[in-house]
Structure 1
């Protein structure tokens, strides 16, 4: 049977570890329209030609998401989004549905 409390040396306690780390700050999901606005502001600060602008937006947008939005994007079928317009339309439909404004 394995020992549930293995012997640790003083050196073991001095090494940084993320084991058992939990974020104590829980941020509410932000307004999806504001998220897109902020993301586009950041993207516009990059000096990209029109040819690379859409491709870069599509690649970097996933890095701007977290929690349920990140999970939503990961669950989509591979290759199901090919344009920035399609991505933003589907993102807003998911997180800012028309019924929410009624």
Structure 2
């Protein structure tokens, strides 16, 4: 069979427009964001800027414990009525990562981080593994 004899068959009833749509499956976030039921919740740009001012890159010399302490300090400065602080932390934490650390988070299985404790545990285990503790 040569190239001019290839036949394309479509076994479903989708329109051409539907067939050309970008797939939406597989783009779920790693972090499962808790539902926020209050109408007056708005993350301020300055809080996001504060978080991004001291990003964690995942270099050997960086201390992930210090990053979590700094992140907790920054995110504890703002309180939102009827919104748990852990929800705010889950939303903002990805913005505190860059480089290898951001790549690590993106490669985690989708919907695998359900709580702030999950996130901190995975982050510390990745960037301060047991082998590093033993070497100290």
SS of match in other structure, 1:101: helix
**1:90 partnered with 2:127:** no
Mark the CA change 1:55 to 1:100 in structure 2 (over 3 Å): closer, same or farther: same
Provide the rounded CA distance (Å) in 1 between the counterparts of 2:84 and 2:71: 16
Structure 2 length as normaliser, TM-score?
A: 0.52
**Residue 66 of structure 2 is aligned to residue 66 of structure 1:** no
Unaligned 5+ runs, structure 2: 1-56
1:36 aligns to what? 68
Task: Give distance in 2, aligned partners of 1:70 and 1:28.
Answer: 8
Instruction: State the 1:48 CA deviation.
Output: 3.1
- What's the Cα RMSD here? 1.8
**Cα deviations by residue, 1:48-75 (Å, 9 ceiling, x for unpaired):** 3574311111110000001111000011
Q: Return 5+ residue gaps in structure 1 as ranges.
A: 1-26
Tell which deviates more after alignment, 27-36 or 74-83: 27-36
CA distance in 2, matches of 1:60, 1:94: 19
In the alignment of these two chains, the number of paired residues is 76
Q: Which TM-score applies when normalising by structure 1?
A: 0.68
